[in-house]
Amino acid sequence: MTIRVFVVLVSLAASMYVAAPIRAQLAPHGPSGVVMGHLHLTAADAAASRAFWTSLGGIAVQNGSLQLIQLAGTFVMVRQGQPTAGTAGSTVDHVTFRVRDPGAWAKSAGIAIENGTVAAPDGIAVRVVGDNSLTTSSRIESISISTVSPDEAQAWYVKQFGAAPAIVDSGVLGRGSRATGVAVADLPGVRLEFVRAATAPAPTKGRSLDHIGFEVKSLEEFCKKLEAAGIKLDRPYTRLPNSTTAIAFLTDPWGTYIELTENLAPPK
């Protein structure tokens, strides 16, 4: 399927697969002040990428100079560029979205769901879980982080971001045992799943899913705490010009590039 045909199909899907209104931009802040923020993509064809996420129920919104696609629980940001590779083989192996009616969405968008997974533009693996209880057409569920040290990765995200640790049975939401389960860490709006890899995966930076983003309350103070704890920031706390939005960047010890934001959502 050509890029042009794909864009036409998913653009039609946006009108055929009617999305329920998105009632909340991001999850409310919990005790740590850190919630799911966004997925930042590098796309060989930005229009095709935006069309895919729009077909999932995304809505284009603007915050100053920032172009965002708003989905329930997260934003998606797309920049034009040539990614080095897709998600396979990187520390972020795939992302999971709950979809109210996966069959209707896939049919209207002309998209194939194979073994519960969709290949989004530029090789981004999106796992799809049906959930007819959703009040929106879709909602982000989890980010799968592939690492040779899942327990250590879980502990790092718990310590640095205040995520809640748990062990779950693979493929289900119930709790499992340390021997058979998957280590996870829950933040408001997203579950981080740490999946064991046989060899160290490649870093995310430069790939189609370049980095994940967390929204942080009082970001400047949060960055000071990270630095005091010995965390090196790739980009220090910076307030964007003529904006209330602030950003900072870091990389986790296993290669996942992370952006921290404050006031990413458009003003109400």
What architecture is domain 3-262? Roll (3.10)
pLDDT value of residue 6: 39
Q: What is the pLDDT of residues 159-210, one digit of tens each?
A: 999 999 998 866 544 444 444 579 999 999 999 999 999 999 999 999 999 9
pLDDT band for 144, please (50, 70, 90 cuts): very high
Report the alpha-carbon distance of residue 185 to residue 162 in Å, rounded. 9
Mean pLDDT (whole number) for 14-33: 67
Distance of CA 188 to the CA centre of its chain: 13
What are the phi and psi torsion angles at 81 (to 5°)? 175, 180
Residue % of the chain over a pLDDT of 70: 87
Provide the token pair at 237.
């706390």
Q: Transcribe the chain into DSSP letters.
A: --HHHHHHHHHHHHHHSPPPP---SSPPP-TTSEEEEEEEEEESSHHHHHHHHHHTT-EEEEETTEEEEEEBTEEEEEEES--S--STTBSEEEEEEEES-HHHHHHHHT---BTTEEEEGGGEEEEEEE-TT-SSSEEEEEEEEEES-HHHHHHHHHHHH-PEEEEE-TTSSSB--TTTSEEEEEETTEEEEEEE-SSPPBPSTTSSEEEEEEEETTHHHHHHHHHHTTPPPSEEEEEPTTSS-EEEEEE-TTS-EEEEEES-SPP-
pLDDT value of residue 177: 41
Q: Is the pLDDT of residue 222 over 50?
A: yes
User: Domain segments of the chain: what residues?
Assistant: 3-262
Q: What is the pLDDT of residues 145-173, one digit of tens each?
A: 999 999 999 999 999 999 999 988 665 44
Q: Is the dihedral of CA 13, 17, 18, 22 positive or negative?
A: negative
pLDDT band for 14, please (50, 70, 90 cuts): very low
pLDDT value of residue 32: 95
- Name the residue with tokens 């799809």: 128
pLDDT value of residue 267: 87
CB count in 10 Å sphere of residue 205: 17
Q: Which residue has the higher pLDDT, 47 or 12?
A: 47
pLDDT value of residue 18: 44
- DSSP β-bridge partners for residue 70: 59, 75
Q: Is the pLDDT of residue 44 over 60?
A: yes
What are the phi and psi torsion angles at 232 (to 5°)? -90, 125
Q: What is the pLDDT of residues 51-108, one digit of tens each?
A: 999 999 999 999 999 999 999 999 999 999 999 999 999 999 999 999 999 999 999 9
- 162: which residues sit within 8 A by CB, 6+ positions away? 30, 31, 32, 33, 34, 187
pLDDT value of residue 93: 96
CA distances from 248 to 61, 97, 187, 235, 238 (A): 22, 26, 19, 5, 6
Q: Is the pLDDT of residue 21 over 50?
A: no
Burial environment of residue 135 by CB neighbours within 10 A (0 to 12, 13 to 18, 19 or more): exposed
Residue % of the chain over a pLDDT of 90: 82
